[in-house]
Amino acid sequence: MKKTFPKMQRRAVNGVFLLNKPLGISSNAALQRVRGLYRANKGGHTGALDPLASGLLPICLGEATKFSHYLLNSTKRYQTTIYLGHSTTTGDTEGEVLLEKAVPVLSEEKIQQVLADFTGDLQQVPPMYSALKKDGRPLYELARQGIEIEREARPMTIDAIKLLSFSENSLTLDITCSKGTYIRVLGEDIAQALGTYGHLTYLHRIRTGHFDLIPSYTIEYLESLSELEREALLLPVFAPVDHFLKIQAPEGRAEYFSRGMESNIEHEAAAEVLVFEGEKCLGLAEITDRKRLVPKRILNL
C-alpha cells in the first residue's frame, strides 16, 4: 500500500528574510526552501542569482511581495573574481573554454587605468546565457541549443569598482552597479581591455538596495530554528521601502484608506509615502498637489 503524507499547511506569513543564498541552487529553489520553512502562502525573491553565484537574496513573504519590485530595481554590490587567460561559453566556470590568449604582465597602475574606463553610465550587450526572452523563450534555452541571436545593448551604470587583489592571472573586484548589469559580461570586457580573455570564477552579492548581507542567515541556519525563532528574523513588510517618508493616516480615515478610498490631507505633495495607523502600516500612497491622499498599494495585515 502506497504511503501518503499530509500536505504542508500553508499560512499567512508577512515579512522579509535576508537570505545568504548558497552556491549550487537557483534563486527560485532557494526561495521555495525558505518559503517552505516558513510555511508561507506566498513568496518572491528580489533579483535572481545564478546557481554559480552566492550571497544576498532578499526573500519577500506574503504582503511584502507588494514591495519586492523596489529591490529588483535597486543598486547591487558584488565581489567577484575574474580568471584571466581564457573565456568560456557562459562567461563563468560552467561553460566550455571558448578563446585563449596569454595574459600580459599586470600592474596595479595598469589595472586601475582600465577599471576607470568601466565606471559611469555605459552600454552593455546582454549575454546569451541570461533569462531575457526572445519570442517567449529564455535566451539561455536557445544558447544551450547552439543558437545565438542578435541582442541590443542596454544602458547600465557602474557606480564604483574597487580592486581588492590581483595575481598574474586573476583580479578580485568589489563592484557597485545598477539593475540590469551582467557581471559576467563586465568581467569579459575588463579582461579584453587588459589585453586577454577572462571569465568569472566567483560571484558573491553583498548588498541589495539598503540591505547588507548577513552571512549567518543561511538555509541551514533557518532549518536549525523553531518557527517562532524564524519569525523573529523577519523584517517588516515595508522594509524594502523603509526609507520612504512615513505619515499617519488622517484621523478617522484609516479604514477608508484600506478600502482604496482617497482622503483629504494637510501635507505637501509626495509621489510615494508609507501610510500608518499608529504602528500598523496600511500601505503606500501618493499625495497629490491638491492635497489628496491616494492609495497605491494596500496591505492586508
| Mean pLDDT, the chain, integer | 91
In this structure, CATH architecture of domain 244-298:
Roll (2.30)
CATH class of 76-208: alpha beta
Q: Copy the grid coordinates of residue 125.
A: 550587450
21, pLDDT greater than 60 = yes
Q: Where are the domains of the chain?
A: 15-73+211-232, 76-208, 244-298
Mean pLDDT of the 148-158 span: 83
* Residue 50 bears catalytic tag: yes
4, pLDDT greater than 50 = no
5, pLDDT greater than 50 = no
Cβ partners under 8 Å of residue 1, min gap 6: none
Q: Please state, in angstroms and rounded to a whole number, the distance separating the CA atoms of residues 244 and 198.
A: 41
Q: Please state, in angstroms and rounded to a whole number, the distance separating the CA atoms of residues 37 and 31.
A: 10
Check if CATH label 3.30.365.10 holds for domain 15-73+211-232.
no
> Bridge partners of 280?
277
Same topology for domains 15-73+211-232 and 244-298, yes or no? no
Q: Please state, in angstroms and rounded to a whole number, the distance separating the CA atoms of residues 183 and 185.
A: 5
Q: Which of 50, 92, 135, 212 is catalytic?
A: 50
Mean pLDDT of the 235-254 span: 96
